[in-house]
Amino acid sequence: MLELRSRDHAEKRVRAGVLEQGTTDTLVEAAVGERLLREGLPHRGIELRYGGAGHRIAFEKLVPGRAITVYGQQEVVKDLIAARLADGGDLRFDVDDVALHAIDTDHPYLTFGGERLDCDFIAGCDGFHGVSRPSIPEGVLTEYEREYPFAWLGILARVKPSAEELIYARTERGFALHSMRSPEISRFYLQVAADEDIAEWPDDRIWAELKARLETVPGFVLATGEIIDKGVTPMRSFVAEPMQYGRLFLAGDAAHIVPPTGAKGLNLAVADVRQLTKALVHRYETGSDELLDGYSKACLKRVWRAQHFSWWMTTLLHTFDSDDAYGHRLQLSYLDYVTSSEAAARTLAENYVGLPYGSLE
């Protein structure tokens, strides 16, 4: 495992925090779910808040037996690193000169820091800006992309959550999300301009804007506290196909990005790695490349479902400057539909908690 950043950076960088049912099951099966089961917060619903009212999407009714777990992505990263080190794994951090070679042969290898690592296979799990995807020759990949005219400003605050479940709020001032990490730590996001300068957002302004976008239903008061982390998340949809070239297999953000609404990023990465693990085990047990050859196709079904869902949730809840009056009314009509029709609510719920593995094949 070769990582550009330090272990400290990987373990502290705050990312999303919603694990699908299948992700939790996968981590538990892989024996890295002990702390997740102890500290994670199981949630059986979310609230959609707009037009002066809150509407609960009830997972227990719509998708019985399936739920999400609120647990920070960097906590998953900590658990994975600890488990690998305990198993005697060789993890290298702060490695900044990795290059991939001969990936279209049976003898691919990596070079870094004057060393050479010969490989059977290479898993490119190095994110959107990593070296793996650009190592594939020009003309092999087809790329699909969509940009959004806004970003998310995210904060972590030392304050008890003001609600028991996540609140996705659509307002005329823009989108806001109330999430959490523990009974003492809350997480919030605000829709801001794509090129937003975080220096323009002192703590007082952030709380005032969160209050303006969340205190929109009778009796709801947002508790405030010390802000302990602040950052701006860009919004992008991106897919590169296929997710394989020779002996290099791309997984997670190296192959695809979703906008954060619905928190699919980590969940998709876990689904990719689960598929790749199955294919590699099959190859070492039987000598057959069949599952490895089908890796990209198998992953892309779920990738595109999550692409659609993330784009849809983003479109449903954000304010677009370019919105004409007609587009605005369509958005409100769809929100009314999702919060009144059981069929529409179930569509949201089954995608939100994650479709079962194998159901998309």
CB nearer ligand DHB, residue 110 or residue 166: 166
Q: Would you call 43 a catalytic residue per the annotation?
A: yes
CB of 309 to ligand DHB, least distance (A): 11
How far is Cα 231 from Cα 196, in angstroms, rounded to an integer? 10
Q: Does 187 bind ligand DHB (CB under 6 A)?
A: yes
Q: Which residue is nearest to ligand DHB (CB)?
A: 179
Distance CA 180, CA 145 (A): 30
Of 43, 55, 178, 256, which is the active-site residue?
43
Q: What angle do CA 270, 282, 128 make, to 5 degrees?
A: 30
CB of 73 to ligand DHB, least distance (A): 8
Asked if 291 and 282 touch (Cβ cutoff 8 Å), the reply is yes
Query: What is the total count of residues that contact ligand DHB (CB under 6 A)?
Result: 11
How long is the chain? 361
Rule CB under 6 A: is residue 40 a binding residue for ligand DHB? no
Q: Is 67:42 a contact under the CB 8 Å cutoff?
A: yes
**Strands laid side by side in the 45-50 sheet:** 53-58, 45-50, 166-171, 174-180, 186-193, 150-158, 226-233
Q: Which of 55, 108, 260, 318 is catalytic?
A: 260
Which region among 113-121, 128-136, 260-268, 289-297 touches ligand DHB (by CB under 6 A)?
A: 260-268
Give the one residue of 33, 40, 260, 354 binding ligand DHB; rule: CB under 6 A: 260
The distance of closest approach from Cβ of residue 93 to ligand DHB in the complex, given in angstroms and rounded to an integer, is 24
Q: How far is the CB of 229 from ligand DHB (least distance, A)?
A: 11
CA distance 190 to 171: 11
18 belongs to the binding site for ligand DHB (CB under 6 A): yes
17 binds ligand DHB (CB under 6 A): yes
User: Does 307 contact ligand DHB by CB under 6 A?
Assistant: no
Question: Is-catalytic flag, 260?
Answer: yes
User: Binding mask 210-239 vs ligand DHB (x if CB under 6 A, - otherwise)?
Assistant: ------------------------------
- The only residue of 23, 132, 135, 179 in contact with ligand DHB, by rule CB under 6 A: 179
Kindly list the distances between the CA atom of residue 165 and the CA atoms of 49, 88, 102, 182, in Å, as whole numbers in the listed order.
12, 39, 49, 12
**From 71, 148, 168, 295, the catalytic residue:** 168
Instruction: Please give the sequence-ordered ranges of beta strands (E in DSSP) within the chain, or none if there are none.
Output: 18-19, 41-43, 45-50, 53-58, 68-70, 99-101, 109-112, 115-118, 122-124, 142-147, 150-158, 166-171, 174-180, 186-193, 226-233, 236-241, 244-245, 248-250, 256-257
Q: Which stretch binds ligand DHB (CB under 6 A): 56-64, 84-92, 134-142, 255-263?
A: 255-263
Check binding of 263 to ligand DHB (CB under 6 A).
yes
Residue from 171, 262, 267, 296 in contact with ligand DHB (CB under 6 A): 262
CA proximity to 72, closest of 3, 13, 160:
13
Q: Does 266 bind ligand DHB (CB under 6 A)?
A: no
Q: What is the smallest separation between the CB atom of 177 and ligand DHB, expressed in angstroms?
A: 6
Applying CB under 6 A, the span of 11-19, 55-63, 76-84, 289-297 interacting with ligand DHB comes to 11-19
Give the C-alpha distances (Å, rounded to integers) separating 162 from 187, 290, 356.
11, 50, 31
Bridge partners of 110? 100, 117
**What element of type H or E holds 27?**
helix 21-29
Which of 55, 264, 295, 318 does the annotation list as catalytic? 264
**Binding residues among 110-169 for ligand DHB as defined by CB under 6 A:** 166
Q: Which residues bind ligand DHB (CB under 6 A)?
A: 16-18, 166, 177, 179, 187, 260-263
The catalytic residues are 43, 168, 260, 264, 352
